[in-house]
Structure 1
Amino acid sequence: MDRFVGQARLEWWANHAMCLEKYDIDITVTVDAVGTWRATGRHASAPDTTQREGWDFLMEMDPHFSIVFPGQDNGEILVRVFEAEDGTLTLTEAPDGDGSVNIPFDFH
């Protein structure tokens, strides 16, 4: 695959068992000759106020998401997401060990 244009889903996982949120995005992925990939996209539909607050909260806590492409059950690729002021998302593959801060949640 040297280019993919379509939809994907970003998933933010608190740990290996709990996905806190999923966001559908329209995405364009390109892969160069050495296998490095770059992706840009936008939310597939504008987040409502509650979704936007959740997105902003997760992005501030840790901007690393798993990305799921059509035909996959769960994300295999950890990406770091940057969001520009105009809403454009830039995704870069996160090196092993980058991201996923372990933050305990107390749901009592």
Structure 2
Amino acid sequence: MDRFVGQARLEWWANHATCLEEYGIDISVTVDAVGTWRATGRHADALDTTQREGWDFLMETDPHFSVMFPGEHNDGILVRVFEAEDGTLTLVEAPSRDGSVNITFDLP
């Protein structure tokens, strides 16, 4: 995959059995010639007040989410999410649950 532009889902897991929240995102992922991943996105739909409070709480608690792509049936890719003031989301690699790294998100 050199580029993926579409929708994905961010899931926030309290533990291996409990997903507390899911957020649809529009995402753009690119891979350069040396295999470095870059990913940015935005919430697919504007968050209402309750959703925004939940999002802010989860981001303050632990900004690590699993990103799930359409058609994938696995645990997703563990990423750390950063949100800019304009609402842009930046996804950065995070160690997987077993301590290894799945892929690299290296964003400017």
**Deviation per residue, 1:9-60 (Å, 9 max, x gap):** 0000000000000000000001122322110000000011000000000000
Amino acid at match of 2:34: V
Correspondence list, 1:6-85, <5 A: 6-85=6-85
Q: What TM-score comes out, normalization by structure 2 length?
A: 0.85
Contact kept? 2:69, 2:76, Cα under 8 Å: no
Contact kept? 1:42, 1:89, Cα under 8 Å: yes
Aligned to 2:4: 4
Task: Give the drift of 1:92.
Answer: 1.0
Contact kept? 1:11, 1:75, Cα under 8 Å: no
Aligned length: 98
Listed as ranges, the gaps of 5+ residues in structure 2 are 101-108
Aligned to 2:91: 91
Listed as ranges, the gaps of 5+ residues in structure 1 are 99-108
Percent of paired sites with the same residue? 84
Task: Give the drift of 1:74.
Answer: 4.4
Amino acid at match of 2:60: E
Structure 1 segments of 4+ aligned residues over 4 angstroms from their partners? none
Amino acid at match of 1:34: V
